[in-house]
Amino acid sequence: MARSTPKAYTPDLDECDWSEESQEVQVDNSMSYNTSFLKTWGVFCVMHHTVWARWTLWFMMLRLFLVSIVVAIIAYTCVPDPQHLDVSKFIEITSILNIFLGVMLSFFLKDSVERWSSCVDGFLDLFNSIRNLGLQLHALGADQERSTKVLRYGVISSVMLIQELKTQGMKESDRKPIDAVLWRKLLTMPNVDTENRFRHLTKTEQDLLEGTRDIAGQMWLWVGSLIGRMAQDGDVPPMQSPTYGRILNICQTAQESLRQVRYARCVKVPFVYVHTLATLVHITNVLFAITLGLVFGSSVEGIMAYARSYSDTTPNPKDLKLIMPVQQVQTLVIETIKCVLAPLLYQAFFLLGCGISSPFNNEDTSVPVNKMLTKLTTDLSDGERLARNPPRWTMPSFKAV
């Protein structure tokens, strides 16, 4: 009688408080990934979206390797007896620099991660403010056309902010064609039934906005003015009511989020600090490369002398002392591991800090703002559709009260 294969247990999500994460390696972007594979050796199989996939890291390691080879050749050919080289002096220098480098690098990474998190929090607060604004207008049953315009201005403000952050490091000549492409996309009239209707500007609105230095921030001036007009026309509660104040507070929160994102992106660690750190990283790595080259030159000389002793002929074999250069081999292995691993980690962490400090100029550390913006427009479209078609009650209208 054949045995039946037991079925895998599938937990009922209504009965448990957890759900097992997929074991597959899945890294869509810097903020969308599963953590199950990170607990196993599968982490060594992932290269994409990691610092180990940076060609700049391995190009720098290649340069350091060439420095080590050149120093090793010079030490082996130019020094009469490379075994008498005192490599410990160079090791002492690198040990002293390691203390300062470790402290400065840790502070730089801490500040970069905090500002990256502040930038993400700013975008989340901005998008949530737009959602909360839509909730307020739908709850009051405000005019549909004006409510859509208010939300559209909020989305356009986010689009302009993202465009500003992405083109901030470009030259003026390179920025103008990109801005022109964005204006053309915003002027293209979308289908009224899609989420893209929130990413649209009229020709009149474009003419008024062109030449404005802070388009993202000034869009909320239009939002506040339009809400004030709606209050005077009776679409929302009057200006002296707490509800009106609550709506304006949401607009002010959105403006604060804009400034938070902008400051987190623009205000970096002082250049004198980062430049000193970068100089210290490169000097320390070069000293490690020189140390490795000297270790190679001195250790290879001892190993070669031991190898040549086998072919030497001597009349008295008892006088022949073949001493295996265990110390040279041990020093060579240990210093190779240290002088390769330390520069690799220093350079990797420095590149990581630089990438995190500029999230809109690096693919692996970028904030997925376009994905977040698409989710926002989808939520606004779904909210508008559900608010206009409630299941068992008539849609509210403050103006009809």
Q: Specify if 48 maps to a domain.
A: no
Residue 162 within a domain: yes
Report the C-alpha gap between 230 and 233 in whole angstroms.
Answer: 5
Q: Give me the number of domains the chain comprises.
A: 1
Residue 200 resides in a domain: yes
Q: What is the dihedral of CA 124, 357, 340, 104, to 10 degrees?
A: -110
Environment class of residue 312 by beta-carbon count within 10 Å: exposed (0-12), middle (13-18) or buried (19+)? exposed
Residue type, 54: R
Q: Kindly list the averaged pLDDT for each block of 10 residues, start to end, along the chain of length 401.
A: 49 64 64 73 77 87 92 78 62 77 90 89 93 92 89 92 85 84 81 71 88 88 93 89 92 92 84 91 90 79 65 50 59 81 91 85 81 90 87 80 54
The verdict on residue 210 lying in a domain is: yes
Q: What is the pLDDT of residue 269?
A: 85
CA dihedral for 146, 147, 152, 153, sign (positive or negative)? positive
Residue 149 belongs to a domain? yes
Q: Which residues have a Cβ under 8 Å from the Cβ of 257 and sit 6 or more positions away? A: 122, 123, 125, 126, 129
Q: Give a yes or no: residue 29 inside a domain.
A: no
Range of the domain at 229: 120-268+368-389
**Can you give the pLDDT at residue 81?**
63
Write out the DSSP string of 98-155.
HHHHHHHHHHHHHHHHHHHHHHHHHHHHHHHHHHHHHHHHHHHT--HHHHHHHHHHHH
Angle between helices 172-187 and 144-167 (to 10 degrees): 160
Taking residue 121's Cβ as centre, other Cβ atoms within 10 Å add up to 14
On whether residue 100 sits in a domain, the answer given is no
Beta bridge partners, 29, equal: 32
> What's the confidence (pLDDT) of residue 319?
43
Record the pTM: 0.80
- For the chain, state the CA radius of gyration: 32
pLDDT computed for residue 2 by the predictor: 46
Other Cβ atoms within 10 Å of 144 Cβ, number: 14
Does residue 38 lie in a domain region? Answer: no
- Between the CA of residue 90 and those of 63, 107, 221, 280, 326, what are the distances in Å? 19, 26, 62, 15, 22
Using an 8 Å Cβ cutoff, are 82 and 301 in contact?
yes
Q: Is 161 within 8 Å of 259 (Cβ atoms)? A: no
What is the predicted pLDDT for the residue at 195?
Answer: 64
